[in-house]
Structures are given as structure tokens and as C-alpha cells.
Amino acid sequence: MVRHGQSVANRDGVMQGQYDAPLSDLGRSQAAILGAWLRERGIVWDAAYTSPLSRARDTARCLTDAVGKPEATPEDDLLEVHAGSMQQKTRVELEAQHPTFFQRDITGLGDYSEFGGESYDDVQVRVQRLIGKLTAAHREPNHTVLLVSHGGLLFQLAKALVCVPVPRVCLLRFSNCSVTRVQLRERRGSYLGEIVWHLPIELIGAEPSGGAAALLY
């Protein structure tokens, strides 16, 4: 699982959700360095899927080009969590227009239904649908799938892959161009995963995005 490289909205401290912000120059550099890192270590995949948003799609293209694989297939269920009226706003604007979001405790951070976006349950339905599609299509032994998506969605997906039941609160940060390997297997009648490794881009040799990229997700 790979989060997209830094976008111009990440750089500028703007909440994205499903707003389609392109990669920044740093984001393109992060994706190129990650692609080279994967190639040098012989890390390849049998199938690849990407969020249709350009920051994820262009990151995926850097990775597939680097290892000589076909372009990733767009998958709508890999879209970022929709944040409703919070999208395209800076933190200052959000604090002025949506102060209730910042008054929530940690259990409410993944729910945007109050602002016209997706609820926590909406996202988990989408995540479970995605898992169902992927596990049905890729059950061969040692079959590897690349997913390129977004911080909020990958966080919810990782929880669903490794935890039963899925917790609302779990601290696992997906920074720009982080890469995470999850191994899935049958465990006592359930198909569950374990996180084998979870690496931020600075451990791969690229410049990290800094604080603005982690505005809310």
C-alpha cells in the first residue's frame, strides 16, 4: 500500500478529501525515488490499482514505470474519504467555519457526515467492498497487489485488514509516499493480514513533506 506523494494542497496546508489536487514538485520526486527503491529491491506485483485522483494516479504511474509494469487500474473504492464542505479549506478556514470538528474527541475524527461528507460507517462499507473484490480476484499463493491511495482511506483499510473487530481508534500514520506491506492469510476461518513493514519516505531516501501535509489526514 502506497500513499501518493506530496500534492500542492498538502504543501499549502489545504484539506483535500476528494478534491483533485495534483502532485507538487516534491511529490513527483518522492514518487520517483520510491519507484527506484522498489526496483532496486526487486519488489514487484502481479496487479496494481490506484485511486482515480491525479495525485494517486501519477504516483502509481511513477512506480509502474520504474519496475516495468503496466499502468495501475483505476478503482473508485480507493478514493480518499469525502470530507464534504471541509474540502479545499485551510486550517484557519476550517477552524472558523467548522469549529465542531476540532471539538471532537479522537473517536470522531474519521466521520465527515456532519459536513456533507462520508460517515465512518460509509467508509467502512466501502473498505469492506474493496477487500471483497481484491480477495476474490487475487487468492493465488504469493500473489502481490499494489494499491496506491490516500492517507485517510489507507488508514481505514489497514485497520480492516489486520483487526477483528475493526477499531475506531488506531494510531498508524500514512505520510506522503509511505509504503506498507501487508501479508494476508487464512487464520481460523478468517482472512486476515499482518503488517510486515511500514516505511516513511525519509527512510527510503527522499525528503519528507513536513507538517502541512498532515493537516487532518
pLDDT at 189: 78
Please give the model's pTM, rounded to 2 decimal places.
0.95
Looking at residue 125, its pLDDT comes to 96
Find the length of the chain: 217
Report the phi/psi class of residue 94: left, alpha or beta, with left for phi > 0 and alpha for psi in -120 to 50. Answer: alpha
Supply the range of the domain harboring residue 170.
Answer: 2-214
Give the model's pLDDT for residue 108.
Answer: 87
What's the pLDDT score for residue 141? 86
How many domains is the chain partitioned into structurally?
A: 1
- Structural Rg of the chain based on CA atoms: 17
- The number of helices, as runs of H, and strands, as runs of E, in the chain is 7, 6
Place of cell 486476515: 192
Judge residue 121's burial from the number of C-beta atoms within 10 Å of its C-beta, 0-12 exposed, 13-18 middle, 19 or more buried.
exposed
Q: What is the pLDDT along the chain (217 residues), one digit of tens a residue?
A: 999 999 999 999 999 999 999 999 999 999 999 999 999 999 999 999 999 999 999 999 999 999 999 999 999 999 999 999 999 999 999 999 999 999 999 888 889 999 999 999 999 999 999 999 998 999 888 899 999 999 999 999 999 999 989 999 888 999 999 999 999 988 887 878 999 999 999 999 999 997 544 444 4
CATH of the domain at 16: 3.40.50.1240
Looking at residue 211, its pLDDT comes to: 55
